Amino acid sequence: MTVLSRIAPQLIVLAALIALVSVFYPGFLSIDIQNGRPVGPVIDILKRSAPVALLAVGMTLVIATRGIDLSVGTIMAICGAAAAWALTQGLGAGAAIALALTAGLAAGLWNGVLVAVVGIQPFVATLILMTMGRGVAQLITEGRILTFTDPGFGWVGSGVALGLPVPVWIWLATAIAVAVIMRRTALGLLVEAVGINRRAAHLAGVNATVLLIAVYIASGFCAALAGIVVTADIRGADANNAGLWLELDAILAVVIGGNSLLGGRFSVAASVLGALIIQTISAGILLAGFASEYNLIIKAGLVLIILVLQSPRIASEWRLWRDSHRAERGRT
């Protein structure tokens, strides 16, 4: 199966959504250049997808090992708080980013050890950090929104490079790097092997423990990038709200990307498209100008339609119905 045919359903859904939003908001695809930066709904969607797309990249790997990482939203808050703390201490943008990434790696290591070495179920193991971590972030920020003015760090969240917002480059680079590492080496295959049957993979010589720890570290790293992006964007670390419930959006993106929660085969590209689909829905609702009471219902309705269309059972029923229909027509 080529990459294109794997991600075809997600591309079709995205195209259909763009067409749907264009009905309500005709200027959806227009892009202007203002003050040397591209401006348009599509650019906004690419930029606003950054947190969920980054989380979805890490989450795809974790889910491929039949795991789940509920703590990514909280890791975002911790890393954002750590970065803002470093900036308010006058340590500079480089140190802030290094500290945030280190915090993300450490959080991932914590999850990985709990899952792979201690043997706690991923759902429970990452739930611990999800619950506890926001408290850690609040301790760092002392419960307030830590604001800073560092223009270098702010550039990561709202700057423009080579015609696109910086966050877009960050998630594109991360997704491409992970996809290439997974598919140009045997790593992707090994991750899938662990997800399908950890014991069998172990007996076949795969070091499942190290691999599991590694995917949770990768997830923590992606969450740290997402945390840096959102913190830089608003130039402040909001420990209470940064990344709140985004773990669920990330899981949804992975699922819309057609990846099974039972592990095994995965596609990073499809998950990232899933994130774009989610953001297109949110942006479309805002642009169309519906009352905010309808936001969640519309979002849920569209997600339901997308998932039903992707359901293997619906697909096989449809094929069955189509074939019998053809056969009937053939008889008459």
Binding site for another protein (CB under 8 A): 25, 32, 34-35, 37, 39-41, 44, 48, 142-145, 147, 158, 230, 233-236, 238, 240-242, 283, 286-287, 289, 291-293, 295
Helix, strand or coil, per DSSP, at residue 259: coil
Taking the complex as a whole, how short is the minimal distance between the CB of residue 285 and another protein, in angstroms? 9
Helix, strand or coil, per DSSP, at residue 112: helix
Nearer to another protein, 5 or 35 (CB): 35
Taking the complex as a whole, how short is the minimal distance between the CB of residue 68 and another protein, in angstroms? 24
Task: Report the 10 Å Cβ neighbour count for 95.
Answer: 15
DSSP-assigned beta bridge partners for residue 164: 161
Nearer to another protein, 9 or 41 (CB): 41
Pairing of β 164-165 and β 146-147? unpaired
Helix, strand or coil, per DSSP, at residue 236: strand
Q: Name the DSSP class of 27.
A: G
DSSP-assigned beta bridge partners for residue 37: 34
Nearer to another protein, 21 or 213 (CB): 21
Taking the complex as a whole, how short is the minimal distance between the CB of residue 292 and another protein, in angstroms? 4
Q: CA 41, CA 29: separation in Å to the nearest integer?
A: 7
Nearer to another protein, 212 or 285 (CB): 285
Taking the complex as a whole, how short is the minimal distance between the CB of residue 31 and another protein, in angstroms? 11
Nearer to another protein, 41 or 220 (CB): 41
Nearer to another protein, 120 or 164 (CB): 164
Taking the complex as a whole, how short is the minimal distance between the CB of residue 78 and another protein, in angstroms? 16
DSSP string covering 123-150, please?
HHHHHHHHHHHHHHHHHHHTTS-EE---
Asked if residues 102 and 223 have their Cβ atoms less than 8 Å apart, the reply is: no
Query: Number of C-alpha atoms within 13 angstroms, CB side, residue 201?
Result: 21
In terms of Cα–Cα distance, which of 75, 192, 68 is closest to 122? Answer: 68
Taking the complex as a whole, how short is the minimal distance between the CB of residue 219 and another protein, in angstroms? 21
Q: Which two tokens stand for residue 135?
A: 């408290």
User: Angle formed by the axes of helices 72-88 and 93-112, to 10°?
Assistant: 150
Q: Which two tokens stand for residue 112?
A: 């990985």
Helix, strand or coil, per DSSP, at residue 317: helix
Nearer to another protein, 155 or 192 (CB): 155
Taking the complex as a whole, how short is the minimal distance between the CB of residue 284 and another protein, in angstroms? 9
Nearer to another protein, 157 or 263 (CB): 157
Taking the complex as a whole, how short is the minimal distance between the CB of residue 7 and another protein, in angstroms? 26
Q: Can you say whether the dihedral through the CA atoms of 301, 307, 310, 316 is positive or negative?
A: negative
Pairing of β 160-161 and β 164-165? antiparallel
Asked if residues 272 and 297 have their Cβ atoms less than 8 Å apart, the reply is: no
Taking the complex as a whole, how short is the minimal distance between the CB of residue 97 and another protein, in angstroms? 19
Nearer to another protein, 31 or 180 (CB): 31
